[in-house]
């Protein structure tokens, strides 16, 4: 880990954010200046612990591997669909040669449909990574309260819907909803108190 850096986000937005970036010697955590200005030290520590959770669980590397697999699968599937459609001559205006520019609209349609079909799976993987990073944060901060309050502040500052429709969350959201994250944190804290 190269270090923790301030991200001058206030020039473009009032949102607060943090991220883990880079590979190898360039890996770093960035915290938005809007987050640093409006959050307590304990809340910043909770956000930082979450980003460290991404580092510990190697989420960047896992994400790259998933993207590479899906990209190659996408090219293979596009090739299969093009061969299938062109062999049946469903669209006489299309050329029978795959490399012909006239086939570009069909390629774009196939790529769009494929990305829509894969979006829920990609978002599910991303939400799983977020839950792992959350759990790492809970286990490495003194109290769960700052994590919960930082999530509440993020929801307010970023105008996030706290409890979106489950289908909308499943289809479009790369992060668990704030409501689910807060509930999970509270349940984890209760379970820890019982032990």
Catalytic amino acids?
Answer: 51
Give the three-state DSSP class for 121. helix
Residue 161: enclosing H or E segment and its boundaries?
none
CA dist list (Å): 113 to 50, 79, 81, 106 = 34, 14, 11, 11
Q: Which of 51, 21, 16 is nearest to 33 (CA)?
A: 16
- Backbone φ and ψ for 10, nearest 5 degrees, come out as -65, -20
Residues 6+ apart with CB under 8 A from 133: 50, 51, 53, 54, 57, 59
Furthest CA-CA distance within the chain: 69
């Amino acid at each position: 880990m190269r270090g923790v850096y301030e991200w001058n986000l206030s020039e473009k937005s009032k949102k607060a954010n943090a991220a883990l970036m880079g590979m190898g010697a360039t890996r770093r955590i960035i915290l938005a200046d809007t987050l640093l200005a409006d959050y307590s030290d304990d809340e910043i520590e909770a956000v930082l612990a979450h980003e460290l959770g991404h580092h510990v669980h190697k989420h960047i590397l896992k994400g790259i591997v998933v993207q590479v697999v899906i990209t190659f699968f996408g090219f293979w599937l596009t090739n299969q669909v093009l061969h299938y459609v062109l062999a049946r001559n469903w669209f006489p205006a299309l050329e029978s040669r795959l490399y012909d520019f006239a086939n570009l609209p069909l390629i774009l349609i196939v790529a769009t449909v494929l990305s829509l079909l894969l979006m829920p799976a990609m978002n599910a993987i991303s939400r799983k990574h977020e839950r792992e990073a959350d759990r790492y944060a809970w286990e490495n901060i003194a109290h769960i309260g700052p994590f919960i309050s930082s999530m509440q502040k993020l929801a307010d500052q970023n105008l996030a819907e706290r409890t979106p429709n489950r289908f909308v969350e499943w289809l479009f959201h790369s992060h668990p909803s704030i409501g689910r994250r807060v509930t999970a944190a509270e349940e984890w804290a209760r379970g820890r108190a019982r032990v």
